[in-house]
Amino acid sequence: MTAVTVGQWTLWIALAIALYGMIASILGARQRVPELVESGRNAVIAIAALAVISSACLLYLLLTRNFQVDYVYQHVSTYLAVPYVISAFYAGQEGSLLLWLLLLTVAGAIAVVRRRDWNEDLLPYVGAVVAGVAAFFLLLLTTLSNPFKLLPTNPGQGIGLNPLLENPGMIYHPPTLFIGYAVYTIPFAYAIAALATGRVGSGWVRGIRLWSLFAWLFLGVGILLGAQWAYVELGWGGYWAWDPVENSSLIPWLVGTAFLHSVMMQERRGMFKRWNIALATLTFALCVFATFVTRSGLIESVHAFGRSPLGYYFLAFLVVVVAVTAALVIWRREELKSKHEMESFLSREFSLLVTVLGMVGVGLAVLLGTLYPTLAESLSGQQLSVGPSFYSRVFTPLGAAVIVIIAICPLLAWGKSSPQRVLRAMLWPGVMAVAFGIALALAGIRPLYAVLGFALCVFVFTSVLVEFGRGWLARKRMTGESYPVAFLRLVNKNHRRYGGYLVHLGVVILAAGVIGSSVYTTDTTISLRPGEAMQVQGYTLKYAEYAIQPTEAKQRFAVTLDVSKGNRSLGRMTAEKNFHWNIEQWVTEVAIRPGLVEDLYVILSGLEQNGLATLSVQTHPMVTWLWIGGGLVLLGTLWAMWPRSEKKRAAGRAE
Amino acid sequence: MTENRTEIPAKPRRSAKQVKFLAGGAVVILIIAYLIFSSMQGATAAYLTVREVKAAAPSDRLVRVSGTVVGDTIDWDAHNVVLRFELADDTGRLLVVYKGVRPDMLRDGATATAEGKMGPDGTFQATQILLKCPSKYEEKATEQAASR
């Protein structure tokens, strides 16, 4: 029982230290007492250390399968494989909150020890915010949501993990998302610190650039990994269902994207100061909201909300976050005035404003769609649901607009651009897009709005490539370097710009994948007897064999098909549908044959004792493009984050 | 490189020009707001009880009805891919017809939500069935089935 005691007590001690650290940091900074500031910083490091110890205790209890601990009993069993035992750490509410605390405090500790000239004054407040947020999670962990709660007796066996969660996705998807959520605390902490000290200039936004890129990257990759997991494992034939839990992770990512773009305005032009404060706060609040949605029944029904007081704690916390920020913004309203004004609609500034409004608007649309049923129920008592058609109607035009802005924004200069110059830069992309669109339409591709969507993607893709090419040729001409050297030196000279371009390319490829897969997915349900063959969407599916056999964990139902297209054999595919004894549930194992053009996706829906099989045969065009686009976004973000060597940075300053 | 380009001196002009950009931003906001609200129309489905569903005239409006699956009424025609079952709530029982694959979690006592329309023959023509298992698992214990 020692691990239980240690785990529990470290949380209580951490709560006390967090409260102390918050007060010490603020007092120390306001009264200018270096000893108190130092002590506050040490407190932040101490809570991180305590969170590590407490997490280690929970992990130890899980790995030793100590079923007397309620949380272990709920999520682990004696026959659960070790990787999934580790993943059980965040399979439930209590462990997830502990993981949040762990990631948040470790990020916070790293933030407060990275002392530089520019953040000397800000750091005490950063530490205070980290300690304050940690105190909130610690309060939940020590009272309502205690991961170390004991059962009266040791049951000897646990319930175990839901087999739907027994997928490699469970190991990497939730922690990736959680890292994104937790790290977004640091930009928020800097925003509050900037307001508290009145140093709301470009210093803080430049300082948090790496933090916000890091959080954005993890959040985005986490969302994509979740989509991929749903696609291969959950067996309903899609990667995105506009499910509240999925939506709640997308919303902070969209607002975080707006934030990444609006900080540029402050760095370069001293504008958008209020926007940046607001977006940093909003992104953080939405991350907390997402955690709460995932771990509570709020969205399904308001009644579930009332059942656990956890919801009220989260609501109160969000109210405090927003109220404190708003009060500080009003206090600092003079300092928050813009240094510059907009010059022209045809400027980088205005197009960035539209980008920010667009991303926040899409985020709010998703938030509204997610919350609407809950709001309607609590206001009028009427129960409603919002269907996917809402999201597709909002997303189609706004997505198209965002894509166009991606193409145009980098072409526009700060201040003012001449229309002739912009039109000239858009010439080749425009020609390519029109030619491509006409070619698709002539080839018989319909509907026309999808053709238009693809043409827009080509427009953006070409315009980004032209930007690359222009810089490349200009450099070669100026320096006389060979083509490869000129290219490498160019992209190495401005990581941020070329990383950003790579991200834009990735997003466009991803968008093309979304258009292709959402417009052209087909689904045919067929019934086959052993030996029979059928043609579906140009594929010939021949029923080769089936198996109905009990194993230790499950009753296995499997159908194997020989798949060919024309005269070309594509090999065998086995679709399964298994009844798992421990949870008395069916789990579908989809057979997928991925391809660049389309994935063939076969779900076994039913298998009778005589071998009669019902199969859902689906084609999902261009889903692979999502993963390729996501990979480019990852590479581009890493490139943008990659530090330049000291020598180059010094040279850059001297320039 | 960004460091020394940051602060370009501001022009001390505060003018009607800014109103133009505010208006531009406002137009963008209005467009987004219009899209959200116009899309919300027709994308929502109201939850009704079995009695309300039966009382309503056949119409094109999507509704949702929730209830408990009555186990011995489940009739799954694998060859034609048609599923029929009765859904019961406090106000009565409703025969649901769903042209699609039988959801794995459909069984006696499961809580099901059917989305669709009342057909002229008095059966509920479901286009989507959502199931929530009476299970101890807190996550992912819902299943979605939809006919595309």
Q: How far apart are CA A274 and CA A266, in angstroms?
A: 10
Residue B4, pLDDT > 50, answer: no
Q: Which of A385, A392, A490, A532 to mutate to test the interface with B (most CBs of B within 10 A)?
A: A385
Cβ atoms of A651 and A242 closer than 8 Å: no
Query: Which residue from A241, A353, A577 is facing B144, i.e. has the nearest CB?
Result: A241
pLDDT of residue A32: 93
- CB contact, 8 Å: B10 with chain A? yes
Largest CA distance in chain B: 80
pTM confidence score = 0.90
A377: tokens are 């129920």
- Tell me the residues of chain B between 115 and 134 that have a Cβ less than 8 Å away from chain A: 115, 133
Cβ within 8 Å, pair B104-A577: yes
Cβ within 8 Å, pair B102-A605: yes
pLDDT tens readout for residues B56-85: 777 777 888 888 999 889 998 877 788 999
Cβ atoms of A86 and A76 closer than 8 Å: no
Cβ within 8 Å, pair B105-A354: no
**φ, ψ (nearest 5 deg) of residue A543:** -70, 105
Which helix (H) or strand (E) segment is A575 a member of?
A: strand A568-580
pLDDT of residue A277: 95
The residue of chain B with its CA nearest to that of A518 is B148
pLDDT of residue A645: 60
Query: Which residue from A389, A523, A655 is facing B43, i.e. has the nearest CB?
Result: A389
ipTM of the complex: 0.79
Query: Which residue from A241, A341, A390 is facing B39, i.e. has the nearest CB?
Result: A390
- Regions in chain A scoring below 70 on pLDDT: 1, 235-236, 295-308, 583, 645-655
pLDDT of residue A99: 96
Distances (CA, A) of A46 to A49, A112, A545, B67: 5, 12, 61, 52
Cβ atoms of A519 and A440 closer than 8 Å: no
Interface contacts A/B by beta carbons within 8 Å: 159
Give the list of residues 6+ apart from residue B9 with CB closer than 8 angstroms, or none. none
Q: Whose CA is closest to B3, among A409, A195, A203, A260? A: A203
pLDDT of residue B130: 81
Q: Show residues of chain B in contact with A372, CB under 8 Å.
A: 40, 44
| Residue ranges covered by each domain of chain B | 14-44, 46-146
**Residue A447 preceded by cis peptide, ω within 30:** yes
Q: Which of B138, B142, B144 to mutate to test the interface with A (most CBs of A within 10 A)?
A: B138
CA distance B122 to chain A (A): 23
A630: tokens are 């996501």
Query: Which residue from B24, B64, B101 is facing A350, i.e. has the nearest CB?
Result: B24
| Residue ranges covered by each domain of chain A | 1-166, 396-520+629-654, 522-624
pLDDT of residue A1: 57
The residue of chain A with its CA nearest to that of B14 is A341
Cβ atoms of A347 and A412 closer than 8 Å: yes
pLDDT > 90: percent of chain B = 15
Query: Which residue from A91, A354, A365 is facing B36, i.e. has the nearest CB?
Result: A365
- CB contact, 8 Å: B13 with chain A? yes
Q: How far apart are CA A638 and CA A635, in angstroms?
A: 5
pLDDT tier for residue B7 given thresholds of 50, 70 and 90: very low
Using CB atoms within 10 A of its CB, is residue A199 exposed (0-12), middle (13-18) or buried (19+)? middle
Cβ atoms of A101 and A185 closer than 8 Å: no
User: B46-146 has which fold?
Assistant: OB fold (Dihydrolipoamide Acetyltransferase, E2P) (2.40.50)
Q: What is the Cα Rg of chain A in Å?
A: 27
Residue corresponding to tokens 């994104």: A180
